[in-house]
Chain A
């Protein structure tokens, strides 16, 4: 392996030139969102090449999954995207249910929509706040975390954990919501709704923020598809795809009867755009600003979905149902399912061989593919734009390194 590096012509060339520099960003850099190392090849302030080095958080979760039952692997899914652990639980639970051809109760279905969308708000709040931090403004981060804290409090009340929930599980959920939880959730939404305007003032329409993000890191539609980007990164480039609407029936059935519009710019307009500030004139479809804005639109959309789910959940008279047994036998066969997690399409693949322990477990991470496009976006940008671009991808290293 070391020979490969020694013979690399780029490195040899670097040795003889004087005006270019290799700059290591990370793995402990605050704006790389965890332990990500970016090696920048710079000429003055211009970045000519970026190479991400990943794997600092690698735990080989897939190998662990081959030695325990699917329900026992739920806590490991928490640690993939630890900012949206509920969505990870849900993705894995649905994949195993697909393999076992199991259907959850009506009440569990609405509970899952409620919890997953609620977690999406929390995840986007971190994405938004931390993005402001990357660009040098501290207050939006504090405002975002203040509200997120309340969501975590509610999750703690529901399942006892604030970050790694293991709440949604194969066959339903580990417990029903405690009495009075729905009212608290509604009270939070009422209090949270006016805050959105604050965020728009602080970031979306802020002149400095727009200067730093509009027209920066433009990702074309074709390139986004070619690199397998998904979620807000894909929709920020104008691709109309959302697994909640376009995915497999076992997943889309969860959202049957729910009204929502995919947060994507169509014919120059975002859905319900009268409620949002206007798109700045400098912004180009596919740039950092649009990726950020898609997340902001999704926060409002998720609030709406949570409200719809609260009504439906409250109307359910049937019991929630028990989750599957810890050591239920898996049928022979394989199943792959992608769900729309806040960061993008999270795919799980499971191969069963007739025993309770899966033969193979695979987690296809959205951040992994989203990050792989960095070197294209950063080519020719300024060093100061690198955090702006990487931050706009909203990656989580736990999910990339697995």
Chain B
């Protein structure tokens, strides 16, 4: 993570894209608006100093508490958080992007939230986005080949969602 100067350049290149930040965290992060993600990533890959030429990891964190007793005590609203860990090979610097998404598009269970794909910017994202789609249920628009990668193609549900329930049967195999 660069200093505040880096953030100002980002603000000039992509006005209004940064909607939150925490520079005091262990891994300082900036939060980006979902619809501006592709612009920000393209700038980070091609034009920023240093250039973030490598994407290390994409993680989806499901902020949802299935237990109603515990849910009454939590301070956050239920949402999905995508975390992008970027790395600059030349400058040996890292950067963390976060994007907040609704758990379901339009709050209709089963309708996956959508986010622009960055697979055209970093090829690493191809398989990583497929994995996030497979396990956490996020739809990446513009992805060249979005299908399940680790689970079988006819698997139902998204295992890394907090309210996921293991199927009782899968092709005659007992699930529980």
Contacts and interface: CB of A to CB of B under 8 A. Distances in A.
A227 B160 contact: no
A58 interface: yes
A307 B154 CA distance: 52
Contacts of A280: none
B107 interface: no
A136 interface: no
B114 interface: no
A160 interface: no
B14 interface: no
A304 to B, nearest CB: 24
A162 B92 CA distance: 36
A228 B124 contact: yes
B25 to A, nearest CB: 6
A37 interface: no
Interface string A329-354: 00001111010000001010101000
Overall SS of chain A's interface = mixed
B85 A347 contact: yes
B57 A335 contact: no
**Max chain A Cβ within 10 angstroms of own Cβ: one of B96, B123, B147, B148:** B123
Interface in B40-78: 53-57, 59, 61-62
Interface stretch (A70-78, A357-365, A378-386): A357-365
Given A226-B54, A334-B26, A349-B57, 16 more contacts: A55-B149, A55-B152, A58-B150, A60-B159, A99-B26, A226-B124, A228-B122, A228-B123, A239-B89, A246-B92, A334-B25, A336-B83, A347-B57, A359-B61, A364-B57, A372-B123
B135 interface: yes
A98 interface: yes
A37 to B, nearest CB: 12
A401 B151 CA distance: 9
A336 B98 CA distance: 13
A334 to B, nearest CB: 7
Given A58-B151, A360-B59, A226 B122 contact: yes
A63 interface: yes
B104 interface: no
A334 B82 CA distance: 13
A225 B124 CA distance: 9
16 contacts: A1-B154, A2-B154, A60-B160, A225-B54, A226-B53, A226-B123, A333-B25, A333-B26, A334-B25, A335-B27, A336-B57, A336-B96, A338-B56, A347-B57, A349-B59, A364-B85
Interface string B136-167: 00000000000111111110000110000000
A232 to B, nearest CB: 16
Given A228-B56, A360-B59, A364-B56, A63 B122 contact: no
A239 B53 CA distance: 13
Contacts of B150: 54-55, 58, 401-402
Contact of A98 (B26, B55, B127): B26
Nearest to A363: B57
A16 interface: no
Contacts of B83: 334, 336, 349
Interface string A114-153: 0000000000000000000000000000000000000000
Nearest to A371: B127
A369 B26 contact: no
A11 B159 CA distance: 30
Contacts of B56: 228, 338, 345, 347, 364
A255 interface: no
A270 interface: no
Interface of B: 25-27, 53-57, 59, 61-62, 83, 85, 89, 92, 94, 96, 122-124, 126-127, 135, 147-154, 159-160
B154 to A, nearest CB: 6
B89 to A, nearest CB: 6
A2 B160 contact: no
Nearest to B124: A228
A359 B92 CA distance: 29
Contacts of A335: 26-27
A4 B147 contact: yes
A189 B175 CA distance: 49
A228 B26 contact: no
A359 B64 CA distance: 10
A311 interface: no
B123 A227 contact: yes
Contact of A369 (B94, B127, B148, B152): B127
Nearest to A53: B149
Contacts of A225: 53-54, 89
A334 B27 contact: yes
Contacts of A276: none
Nearest to A59: B150
Interface in A75-102: 98-99
